[in-house]
């Protein structure tokens, strides 16, 4: 082989990986997601209901008659007794909303109480502004998607719901509040509703 042929062959060998990477990028483009939470696809619509709001009317005036429509919601389900895992979720929900800053008035925090236990006055005061909804007989409880491996029946999560009542994202109880707030900021910026 001549020196020129060797040189051309070496150039082709070194160029092949680069050409293959460009071909892979343009023929099989990567999916672009920048969200932290787990997307619920397709979204699940919550039926519009008249709700029995146990507390939080100051945070969301008229919420019983409006069915919580018109606000972005961070929703969790749990017992009214609210143990340590429940309080961890309430803390993450509160902090995520506070981090949003000036847009936080567009977001409400909601706890769907699954049993007959009422939250204590101390708990309500500690997480002031949270809307406590008596949900034992609400069809909403069956609508929240629960992963098959979850033994908590959905209590280990909280969900983002848009102003039209669509559940679109799920977070674990130990989720990073700054990244949740980043997700919420993105949807609030992109949407003019709520």
Listed residue (98, 105, 106) closest to 127, CA to CA: 98
- pLDDT tens-digit series, residues 69-103: 688 999 999 998 888 889 999 999 999 999 998 88
- Residue 107, domain member (yes or no): yes
Report residue 79 CA to chain centroid gap: 20
Cα separation of 113 and 107, whole Å? 19
pLDDT of residue 90: 92
pTM: 0.75
Residue 151: which CATH number? 3.40.30.10
**Beta partners for 100?**
none
- Residue 138, domain member (yes or no): yes
- Residue 19, domain member (yes or no): no
- Residue 84, domain member (yes or no): yes
pLDDT of residue 61: 42
Residues of the chain where predicted confidence (pLDDT) is lower than 70: 30-33, 50-69, 194
Structural domain for 135, as ranges = 38-190
- Residue 68, domain member (yes or no): yes
pLDDT of residue 75: 93
pLDDT of residue 194: 65
pLDDT of residue 192: 77
- Residue 74, domain member (yes or no): yes
């Amino acid at each position: 082989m001549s020196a020129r042929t060797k040189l051309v062959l070496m150039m082709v060998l070194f160029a092949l990986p680069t050409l293959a990477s460009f071909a892979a990028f343009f023929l099989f483009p990567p999916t672009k997601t920048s969200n932290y939470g787990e997307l619920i696809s397709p979204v699940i619509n919550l039926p519009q209901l008249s709700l029995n709001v146990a507390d939080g009317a100051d945070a969301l005036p008229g919420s019983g008659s409006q069915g919580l429509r018109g606000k972005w919601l961070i929703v969790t389900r749990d017992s009214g007794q609210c143990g340590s895992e429940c309080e961890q979720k309430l803390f993450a929900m509160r902090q995520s909303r506070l981090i949003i800053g000036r847009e936080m008035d567009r977001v409400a925090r909601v706890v769907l109480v699954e049993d007959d236990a009422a939250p204590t006055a101390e708990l309500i005061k500690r997480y002031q502004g949270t809307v406590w909804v008596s949900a034992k007989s609400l069809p909403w409880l069956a609508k929240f998607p629960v992963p098959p491996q979850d033994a908590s029946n959905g209590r280990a999560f909280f969900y983002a719901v848009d102003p039209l009542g669509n559940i679109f994202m799920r977070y674990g109880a130990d989720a990073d509040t700054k990244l949740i707030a980043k997700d919420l900021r993105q949807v609030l910026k992109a949407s003019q509703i709520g």
